[in-house]
Amino acid sequence: MRRMTKRRKQSKRRDGYVMLIVMMLILTTTAFAAVHQRHLASALRIEQARMLSEDRIAGPVAVMAVACERLESGQPPSPSAYQYTQTVRGTAVLYRIDYQLNGSRWTVSANPDPSATGLAVLPASF
């Protein structure tokens, strides 16, 4: 019987160490989660910025490129305004393109404008 009581006393001493190990495991896991959360959050911000940049390039920048390309084909009547529809990610956006002659230079502007439906469609060339 003495042996059994000694073993029980020894196992009670170990219970405190098991709780300490469990607490260390929980703290370590929480620390790893916090570190990885920072990296995941920064990766998400980078991806969102990349998507916004792609949308800008596919939207207003592409419309401005089309407007300038049409200006290279000839001179539009001055001042003139046209409509142009650009589709980005399945959404059609209507743009108003304005051409103005200032001296010997042309000024071209392309802005999203849902009320540009009454304007003429931008021709393939001038």
The tens place of each residue's pLDDT in the chain, 126 residues long, gives: 555 555 555 555 555 678 888 899 999 999 998 888 888 888 899 999 998 888 788 788 888 888 888 888 887 776 688 888 888 888 888 888 888 888 888 888 888 888 878 888 888 777
Q: Which two tokens stand for residue 102?
A: 């200032």
Give the structural domain span for 44.
2-121
Is residue 126 in some structural domain? no
What is the number of domains present in the chain?
Answer: 1
Is residue 91 in some structural domain? yes
Is residue 74 in some structural domain? yes
Q: Which two tokens stand for residue 126?
A: 């001038």
Is residue 104 in some structural domain? yes
Closest alpha carbon to 100 in 83, 123, 77, 120: 77
Instruction: Encode pLDDT of 58-93 as tens digits.
Output: 788 888 888 888 888 887 776 688 888 888 888 888
**84 CB-near residues (< 8 Å, 6+ apart):** 63, 66, 67, 94, 95, 97, 110, 121, 122
Using a 10 angstrom Cβ sphere, with 0-12 exposed, 13-18 middle and 19 or more buried, the burial of residue 95 is buried
The structure's pTM equals 0.56
How far is residue 22's CA from residue 110's CA, in Å, rounded to a whole number?
A: 63
